[in-house]
Copies of this chain bind each other. A is one copy, B any other.
Amino acid sequence: MSDSIKIFDTTLRDGTQGEGISLSVEDKLKIAQKLDELGVHYIEGGWPGSNGKDIEFFNRVQELNLKHAKVTAFGSTRRKNTRAEDDVNLNTLVESGVKVATIFGKSWDFHVHEAIQTTLEENLEMIFDSVRFLKNKGLEVIYDGEHFFDGYKNNAEYALQTIRKAEAAGADWIVLCDTNGGSMPEEVTSIVSEVKKHISVPLGIHAHNDCELAVANSLAAVRAGARQVQGTINGYGERCGNVNLCSVIPNLQLKLNYSCVSEAQLESLSSVARYVGEIANISMPMNQPYVGSAAFAHKGGIHVSAILKHASTYEHIIPEKVGNKQRVLVSELAGQSNLVSKAAELGLNFDQQDGRSREIISRIKNLEHEGYQFEGADASLELLMREAAGDSNEPFVLESFKIFVEKSADRPVSSEAFVKVNVKGQTMYTAAEGDGPVNALDNALRKALIPFYPDLLAMHLSDYKVRVLDDKGATASKVRVLIESRNFESEWNTVGVSSNIIEASWFALVDSFRYALIGKSSLENTTSDTRPVGLINH
């Protein structure tokens, strides 16, 4: 039995069936490139027979010259009572130019009757004809038995017949699908073991997460003999999603000693997960196993003091193996050890004895009480700690700002900002327009500061998040704004809280500029680049 497992990624096909996910052809090409670098073996790019956008993808993906992955197109068996040769969907698969076709057919007698409404016998012929047609065209054929486990539980003999037909027609892989995600791991173990007695081509598993068991079910199938795992990055997909490859791959490789990708490829896992999340425009759950920003984040005081002695006391693997890293959170649950460790991480000299760390803990607690949260705003926290450490050389001071927004009927809206700041003893009064009030503020503040600090040209705002804080009985609900900023070398996050979204944005914006000028990044970055600024427009 080989211990090498093939990874079949269907982020671009099944993943896009998830709620809130929509990928352009450009998006798909970018993701395919990353998947290839990660070392997956198959990339399912789409369903050319059902979507024109997917046809364009299959044309353009050939120009990428992927090094490792085989690209595959998805489709179904032929329609009932037709010939495979005449089936538009099957012909589109051939015309898409892929060398691997993935087609699904029905394993569950109930679906044959209810969904496609034909006879059990005709369904067997549909499977056989379709696989043979594609094999005759010279393609590698992966056959997905849809609802295999439900079908097997309802009528084992018929479910087995369907995949025996695919095997007889020459399928290269038989993939057993838990399409509705309702199976338990022990069912998967026993059914895959049973199927292995009847089928000699290699088996695969395609699991969905409706019982929060997709990872367990995929591992169970592999242990019972499956040699291909189909899934998606971050577990995107219909309903509760497909199995999450970002958990399956490290579990197989680091825990169960199977081999999927190289060690270096595995170290890119966290960055691939975040990249795909960015492209799909879906926030990554911070607590996502292995690759989430909180996967190795420690908050409880006891945990923190133990990991400072020895990381493996509360970490099940070395985070760097999946390209992640340890973080220590500062919060009301934390003791001084968190803060001292944070200070060391920042290169600040914080003496636990002199009462300053107590003072700053109490200041952080007060701000958290007002709605601040520093777990996602390291730069604002660093600025606070620098102030507390007496390192407060303010690069500018606000005198006033005004915002004016106007809209008439159907004409475009206009936004203007007026900023008065004192920079190095000089009052700067600037005005600027913007694509929105925050962008206008950003532009006006830049105008005031750049004559003094030209390095700011290299910096731009790259993300902007607004969170409405539940008022929970307080008199006014507050908003928390998080701003992410970047220059070429680094990115940093700042936070502002107010019951006024413009004021909250202003606080976070000011911290972003202050950090660029007096934070850690200013020490690392002294180039004065001229990358265009003002990407963000609110």
A residues contacting B by CB (< 8 A) are 16-20, 22, 24, 26-27, 50-51, 110-111, 114-115, 179-182, 184-186, 209-213, 215-216, 219-220, 223, 235, 237-241, 244, 247, 250-251, 255-256, 278-279, 281, 285-290, 292-301, 303, 306, 309-310, 312-317, 329, 331-333, 368, 373, 375-376, 398-409, 413, 415, 435-438, 463-466, 468-473, 476-477, 479, 498-503, 506, 535-538
Contacts and interface: CB of A to CB of B under 8 A. Distances in A.
Nearest to A408: B400
Contact of A209 (B289, B301, B470, B538): B289
A431 to B, nearest CB: 14
A339 B278 CA distance: 29
Contacts of A26: 472-473
A312 B154 CA distance: 13
A13 B66 CA distance: 49
Contacts of A110: 312-313
Contacts of A293: 19
Given A435-B476, A463-B468, A502-B436, A375 B180 contact: no
Nearest to A406: B402
A24 B115 contact: no
22 contacts: A17-B333, A18-B294, A19-B293, A20-B294, A20-B376, A22-B332, A51-B333, A180-B315, A186-B223, A209-B289, A211-B255, A212-B244, A212-B251, A216-B216, A240-B292, A399-B409, A401-B407, A405-B500, A435-B476, A436-B479, A465-B468, A477-B537
Contact of A114 (B17, B180, B250, B313): B313
A314 B238 CA distance: 10
Return the 6 tightest CB-CB contacts between A and B, nearest first. A182-B316, A216-B216, A466-B466, A212-B247, A403-B405, A436-B500
A240 B294 contact: yes
A504 to B, nearest CB: 9
Given A50-B301, A294-B239, A251 B468 contact: no
B111 A313 contact: yes
Contacts of A406: 400-403
Given A185-B216, A212-B244, A316-B180, A500 B538 contact: yes
B240 A299 contact: no
Given A17-B300, A436-B499, 13 more contacts: A17-B299, A50-B301, A51-B333, A184-B256, A186-B223, A209-B289, A211-B215, A211-B316, A213-B216, A403-B403, A407-B502, A407-B503, A413-B500
How many copies altogether?
2
A318 to B, nearest CB: 12
B211 A502 contact: no
A53 B373 CA distance: 19
A239 B498 contact: no
A201 B470 CA distance: 44
A214 to B, nearest CB: 8
A453 to B, nearest CB: 21
A157 B342 CA distance: 38
Contacts of A500: 405, 413, 415, 435-437, 537-538
A406 B404 CA distance: 9
Given A315-B180, A405-B403, A247 B114 contact: no
Contacts of A376: 20
A289 B466 contact: no
Nearest to A401: B407
A253 to B, nearest CB: 12
Contacts of A281: 469-470
Given A215-B213, A238-B298, A405-B403, A498 B413 contact: yes
A400 to B, nearest CB: 4
